[in-house]
Amino acid sequence: MTGAGPPHVVIAAVGNPLRRDDGAGPAVLEQLRGELGDALVLGALASPLDLLGAWDGAGLAVVVDAVGGDVVPGEVRVVEVDLRDPQGAPTRTAATASSHGLGVSEALRLALALGSMPARVVLVGIGGDDFGEGVGLSPSVSAAVERAAQVVTGLVAEGLAVVR
């Protein structure tokens, strides 16, 4: 990122690679290492709380995270967050793999409360299968990493084009 102003595009992954498929988000960022141009890459956050402050003033924030619920393992689901009501964002985050952390959903609600929400927030969710202890992604999730990376690349290019 160049210039002193707030970053226009911020990208972060959430998840714990030691909780198997919870590491899908960090795996996507690893795949894209060095390929995200002028976007501010926050890297893999252990706590979504760390999004607060780092993404203030951004035009676009992309958060890559493993998700559970009704998302089938290996599915890549792109969710445009409703900035007035971020409650419905589907996530399975560090909050469920930690007794203390707050989830992406809480981070979004906190950003709303603090008036520091980026202009646009997109969640790239990857359906997980196994969130148990251990390293390595399930085969279906591993296969989805490439597709998710392409989605992220497209979103970042779109976001950066706005300021060019």
Q: What is the DSSP letter of 120?
A: E
The helix-helix angle for 24-31 and 139-163 (nearest 10°) equals 60
Q: Which is nearer to other proteins, 54 or 78 (CB)?
A: 54
What residues from 49 to 108 belong to the interface with other proteins (CB under 8 A)?
A: 49-50, 52-53, 94, 96-102, 106
Least distance to other proteins, CB of residue 45, Å = 8
Span from 13-21, 30-38, 71-79, 146-154 in contact with other proteins (CB under 8 A): 13-21
Least distance to other proteins, CB of residue 23, Å = 13
Q: What angle do CA 81, 127, 125 make, to 5 degrees?
A: 25
Q: Which of 131, 141, 152, 159 binds other proteins (CB under 8 A)?
A: 131
Cα–Cα distance measured from residue 117 to residue 91, given in angstroms and rounded to the nearest whole number: 18
- Cβ atoms of 5 and 36 within 8 Å: the answer is no
Q: What is the DSSP letter of 19?
A: B
Q: Report the interface residues with other proteins, using CB under 8 A.
A: 16, 18-19, 46-47, 49-50, 52-53, 94, 96-102, 106, 109-110, 113-114, 131
